[in-house]
Amino acid sequence: MKIERVVVIGAGTMGSGIAQWFAQEMCFVELVDNSSDQLDRAKKSIHDSWNKLVEKEKLTSCKAEQMKKLLEFKSLDNVSKNADLVVEAIIENLDVKKDLFAKLDKHFSEHTILSSNTSSFPIHLMAEAVSTARRGNFVGLHFFNPATIMKLVEVIKGKDSDQELCHELYSWFDSKGKKPALCKDSPGFIVNRVARNFYGEPLRIVGEDDERKMREVDHILKEVGGFKMGPFELMDMIGIDVNYSVTCSVWEAYDREPRFAPHRLQKKMVEDGRFGRKTKRGYYKYD
Amino acid sequence: MTNVSFGDYLLNFGFGTKEEKTKILEMNPDKKVVMDLSCYDPISFYKKFPNLIGTFAALFADENKKIEVHLLEGVEDVLKKFIELGYTPVETTIVSCGFVFPRTISQIINEAYFALQEGVASREDIDRAMKFGVNYPKGPFEWAHGREMYVKTLLNELLSLTGDQRYKACPLL
């Protein structure tokens, strides 16, 4: 498989990280956004990150300059048509994504692989927006934040995705030092599904808004389980609102299966505006 | 199961049925028993047996041999003994069926089995995803290896205790 030209759509945190990673792997990358301010911010952030690596002597200035030349910042109208791979990383709104994919399908050449970095929507629903001929070349590629550091890429095979293509993508990412995982197009894919009980079960063990107990649970899961962060401090960092929304989305997608049911404390925290670190109040206080 | 006696104390290690655990407590009324109840509800045992002065969860411990320990008395002596036996006790005040780590990890393992059963991904890819996507120190199947029976027993216990279907064990377990 040859992936030399990549287009990443959406210059937010995920899109920028994904574009940066591909450029670091010496791919020619076009990072696309309809906001020039967003593109400027992404460019500054990526260039700053490379400059810091040069200062720390973790990257040569020659390589950094090479990567800067490989990464271009554009609007969709100006993007080239012959990319090998397109990664969509825009807002999590199914209608907006489908509109975008319909445009991308017309814009890019036949060989271009279209992919979505969605964490919430089934791949086959987005694939409905493209022509039947393209659907074999439509997959999910779910990166994790920060994409330059986190090694996992979930390679998601949609209903019509070409099986061989998925295996080739798996091997390609593997050859580039990522740790790909091949998975079926099902709610939460692997991580957002299996990780749900890292939050749900501690919430049930504690049962109420009791900071002392939460500290104890966090301590035990780090000390005994070897987790880098405890569930309560992690939820505070992710955002209790974000975590609750993912929980509800997976729960609904599995027809309210009890294993995924949100806990009443999560709901209460969201209703009270206690979202975690970003509101200085979550399961813990941050003054 | 293995029993370790020292002074007035008896430490009971290993997996056993509830009946077997009960028998140990009944046969040692004059001992201060500290028992591995990784898969059961410590509260019901505490209520029934005044000679039970502590509980712990060692069945889920990995190479680091760190274990959750809940003690009502004899704290210093018992902790010293655990250290002597090569364990690192982590004291807890939370008395929950399956303590904290065994209960949480069993639910994560159960979900991984459901995902496997539904063909979402292979064991290897599920382990890999959890280690490299959310930095888990081990994948769920690596954790489960050799402990499937403990996971299943604990989930059945939680199901019967709470009646909550979220604890229904995956048939693959």
What domains can you pick out in chain B, each with its CATH number? 2-91 (no CATH), 104-167 (1.10.1040.10)
In this predicted model, what pLDDT tens digit does every residue of B19-76 receive, in sequence order?
Answer: 999 999 999 999 999 999 999 999 999 999 999 999 999 999 988 899 999 999 878 8
Which segments of A144-213 are extended strands (E)?
A: 152-157, 179-184
- Over residues A237-241, the mean pLDDT reads 92
Whole-number pLDDT of residue A217:
98
Of the residues A168, A191, A214, which one is the last residue of a structural domain? A191
Which chain B positions have a beta carbon within 8 Å of A190's beta carbon? 115, 120-121, 125-126, 129-130, 133
Q: Which of B82, B95, B105, B111 to mutate to test the interface with A (most CBs of A within 10 A)?
A: B111
Which segments of chain B are extended strands (E)?
A: 2-6, 9-13, 32-36, 52-57, 66-71, 88-91
In this predicted model, what pLDDT tens digit does every residue of A171-193 receive, in sequence order?
Answer: 999 999 999 999 999 999 999 99
Percent of chain A surpassing pLDDT 90: 94
Torsions phi, psi for A123 (to 5 deg)? -60, -40
Q: pLDDT-based confidence at B171, cuts 50/70/90?
A: very high
Q: Domain of residue A274: give its range.
A: 195-279
Are A36 and A93 part of one and the same domain?
yes
Are A176 and A139 part of one and the same domain?
yes
Q: How many domains does chain A have?
A: 2
Which segments of chain A are extended strands (E)?
A: 5-9, 28-32, 71-74, 85-88, 113-116, 138-143, 152-157, 179-184
pLDDT at B135 over 80: yes
Q: pLDDT-based confidence at B151, cuts 50/70/90?
A: very high
Are A123 and A261 part of one and the same domain?
no
Whole-number pLDDT of residue B52:
96
| Closest residue to A205, CB basis, from B94, B118, B136 | B94
pLDDT at A119 over 90: no
Rounded to the nearest integer, the mean pLDDT of chain B is 95
In this predicted model, what pLDDT tens digit does every residue of A249-271 receive, in sequence order?
Answer: 999 999 999 999 999 999 999 99
Percent of chain A surpassing pLDDT 70: 100
pLDDT at A20 over 80: yes
A 10 A CB-CB count for B170 gives 19
Q: Which of A150, A176, A190 to mutate to test the interface with B (most CBs of B within 10 A)?
A: A190
Question: Which residues is A8 bridged to in the sheet?
Answer: A31, A87
Are A18 and A117 part of one and the same domain?
yes
Of the residues A191, A210, A244, which one is the last residue of a structural domain? A191
| Closest residue to B137, CB basis, from A193, A195, A226 | A226
- A171 falls within a domain: yes
Whole-number pLDDT of residue A176:
97
User: How far is B6 from chain A, CA to nearest CA, in Å?
Assistant: 26
pLDDT at B130 over 80: yes
| Closest residue to A216, CB basis, from B92, B114, B121 | B92
Rounded CA-CA distance B155/B159 in Å is: 6
The CATH number of whichever domain residue A216 belongs to comes to 1.10.1040.50
Are A134 and A92 part of one and the same domain?
yes
Are A56 and A138 part of one and the same domain?
yes
Helices A231-238, A196-206: inter-axial angle, 10-degree rounding: 120
